[in-house]
């Protein structure tokens, strides 16, 4: 399904399961967004036909979101028994069956999920319709036979009837999801609890995992346009590989983020090596070590952190592509001294010995007339993050052959 053509599916599914649609209708079809309200009709749920169960494919992550923090839910429900979360995610490759991963990594109480669906088809957990996710843990569902189209929106809905305490989230998703309770349906930009969707796929060669910061997560991109650079890289690959985005806004290599987000060295095994059928990782990290306080002064320490992640990936047989650090003059934390640190990190990356291959985001995004700044055409306005055109430019810089150089010449990407 071509990009954004999944809108029809999303409209059909936005009411969630039939049970959820019933209580939303009873509560009144109000969609709350910010301080205003908009009256909307609750569309009827559609149950897709069953897919054949005889696939010989393997399990590949088609989408993933890194768990970032535990927060008090900004959309509290008075009656949790009527609360349903509908996370909307965008697939990279398709399949004839799916399974989901739910995380309670940052929770302080066990999390009960008593109803879960993928595109309205009910999901089970070890044969049971409900599951309790332990504190600090995660669960993977049973496979559910449901057609999952490539490059399309997917709705994963689940009910948390007794949820209390911190909610494990991925914020700033740049994707509209929904929370429904006794009052109606609310828009949200948080992915709650859901951290992966895997599909059974017989054709893709594996998954490419992009681990990065806000520049990978898509800050500055258009809401619901799926214009983050990993999304656009997926478009270029056309199903040959899945692409999953493990970017976290504010993420650093050597320290935890200023607000939230475990440092990349601590989350690498879980977020990259734990991805289903991962074959290649693209590491786009380091700019926050340079620009966030406390600012790293030693470029070698950043390079050593990048090298350590590469070594861990190699130990698991993954290929590693690394990105140079883009300019950010004009952003509030920029100084000439820290820009010198950035350029020295880039020199170490370009010299080789850290990654298997290098994608030069710096050269692609910098202003040729003032290399310490982003090109104006790619700057979202804050001088650090890119707009949609800038993220497209990054996606175009990735040498597709570098993702899997062992591919025979007759079968190149």
CA-based nearest residue to 159, from 341, 354, 20 = 20
Are 321 and 356 a contacting pair, CB within 8 Å? yes
Instruction: Average the pLDDT over each of 9-18, 51-60, 172-181 and give the range with the smallest value.
Output: 9-18
Spatial separation of the C-alpha atoms in residues 175 and 189, rounded to whole Å? 6
| Residue range 78-95: mean pLDDT, rounded | 95
> Average pLDDT, stretch 209-224?
98
pLDDT at 18: 36
In DSSP terms, which residues pair with 144 in a beta bridge?
Answer: 98
Residue 207, Cβ density class (10 Å: 0-12 exposed, 13-18 middle, ≥19 buried): buried
Q: Which range has the worst mean pLDDT, 16-20, 78-82, 195-199, 364-368?
A: 16-20
pLDDT at 398: 98
**Phi and psi torsions of 303, nearest 5°:** -60, -40
Tell me, what's the pLDDT at 260?
76
- What is the mean predicted confidence (pLDDT) over 198-224? 97
On whether the CB atoms of residues 167 and 192 are closer than 8 A, the answer is yes
Out of 13-22, 89-98, 213-222, 362-371, least confident range: 13-22
- Is it the case that residue 137 has pLDDT exceeding 50? yes
Mean pLDDT along residues 340-349: 98
- In terms of C-beta density within 10 A (0-12 exposed, 13-18 middle, 19 or more buried), how is residue 271 classed? buried
Q: Render pLDDT for 225-282 as a digit per residue (tens, 0 to 9).
A: 999 999 999 999 999 999 999 999 999 999 998 777 899 999 999 999 999 999 999 9
pLDDT at 36: 30
According to the model, what pLDDT value does residue 25 have? 32
Apex CA 106: angle with CA 290 and CA 320, to 5°?
45
Q: For residue range 401-410, what is the model confidence (pLDDT) as tens digits?
A: 999 856 433 3
Q: Is the pLDDT at 334 greater than 50, yes or no?
A: yes
What is the pLDDT, as a whole number, of residue 164?
A: 85
Q: Which residues make beta-bridge pairs with 172? A: none
**Which pLDDT score is estimated for 83?**
93
C-alpha pair distances (Å), 364 with each of 37, 45, 371 = 42, 45, 11
pLDDT band at residue 413 using 50, 70 and 90 as cut-offs: very low
Q: What is the mean pLDDT of the segment spanning 379-389?
A: 98
Q: Is the pLDDT of residue 411 over 60?
A: no
Q: Give pLDDT, residue 27.
A: 30
d(CA 193, CA 191): 7
pLDDT band at 16 (very low <50, low <70, confident <90, very high): very low
Minimum mean pLDDT among 45-54, 80-89, 116-125, 184-193: which range? 45-54
Please report the pLDDT score of residue 78 as a whole number: 86
In whole numbers, what is the pLDDT of the chain averaged over residues?
Answer: 87
Q: Does position 44 have pLDDT exceeding 50, yes or no?
A: no
Write the pLDDT tens digit of every residue in 46-77: 333 333 334 457 999 999 999 999 999 999 88
Give the pLDDT score at 165.
85
**For residue 325, is pLDDT > 60?**
yes
14: pLDDT strictly greater than 60:
no
| 244 vs 225: CA distance, rounded Å | 16
The pLDDT value recorded for residue 404 is 83
- What is the full DSSP assignment across 37-82? EEE---PPP--PPPPPS----EEEEEEE----EEE--SS--S-GGG
3-class secondary-structure state, position 283: strand
Closest listed residue to residue 201, CA positions, set 233, 232, 242, 238: 242
């Amino acid at each position: 399904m071509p990009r954004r053509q999944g809108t029809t599916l999303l409209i059909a599914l936005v009411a969630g399961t039939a049970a959820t649609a019933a209580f939303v209708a009873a509560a009144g079809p109000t969609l709350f967004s910010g301080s205003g309200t908009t009256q909307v009709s609750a569309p009827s749920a559609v149950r897709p036909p069953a897919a054949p169960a005889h696939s010989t494919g393997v399990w590949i992550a088609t989408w993933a979101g890194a768990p970032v923090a535990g927060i008090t839910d900004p959309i509290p429900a008075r009656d949790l028994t009527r609360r349903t979360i509908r996370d909307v995610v965008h697939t990279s490759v398709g399949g004839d069956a799916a399974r989901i991963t739910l995380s309670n990594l940052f929770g302080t109480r066990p999390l009960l999920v008593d109803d879960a669906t993928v595109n309205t088809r009910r999901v089970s957990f070890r044969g049971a319709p409900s599951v309790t996710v332990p504190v600090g843990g995660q669960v993977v569902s049973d496979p559910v036979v449901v057609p999952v189209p490539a490059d399309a929106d997917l709705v994963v809905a689940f009910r948390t009837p007794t949820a209390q305490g911190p909610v494990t989230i991925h914020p700033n998703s740049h994707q509209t999801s929904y929370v429904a309770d006794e009052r109606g349906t609310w828009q949200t930009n948080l992915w709650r609890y859901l951290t992966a969707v895997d599909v059974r796929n017989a054709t893709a060669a594996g998954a490419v995992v992009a681990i990065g910061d806000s520049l990978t997560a898509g800050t500055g991109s258009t809401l619901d346009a799926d214009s983050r650079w990993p999304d656009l890289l997926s478009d270029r690959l056309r199903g040959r590989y899945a692409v999953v985005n493990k970017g976290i806004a504010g993420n650093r290599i050597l320290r935890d983020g200023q607000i939230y987000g475990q440092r990349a060295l601590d989350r690498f095994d879980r977020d990259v090596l734990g991805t289903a059928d991962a074959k290649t990782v693209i590491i786009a990290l380091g700019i926050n070590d340079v620009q966030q306080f406390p600012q790293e002064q030693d470029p070698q320490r950043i390079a050593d952190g990048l090298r350590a992640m590469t070594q861990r990936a190699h130990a698991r047989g993954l290929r590693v592509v690394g990105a140079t650090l883009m300019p950010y003059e004009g952003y509030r934390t920029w100084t000439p001294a820290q820009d010198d640190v950035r350029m020295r990190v880039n020199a170490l990356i370009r010299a080789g010995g850290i990654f298997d291959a290098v994608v030069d985001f710096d050269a692609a995004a910098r202003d040729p007339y003032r290399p310490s700044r982003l090109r104006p055409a790619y700057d979202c306005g804050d001088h650090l993050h890119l707009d949609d055109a800038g993220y497209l430019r990054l996606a175009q810089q990735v040498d597709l052959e570098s993702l899997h150089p062992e591919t025979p010449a007759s079968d190149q990407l």
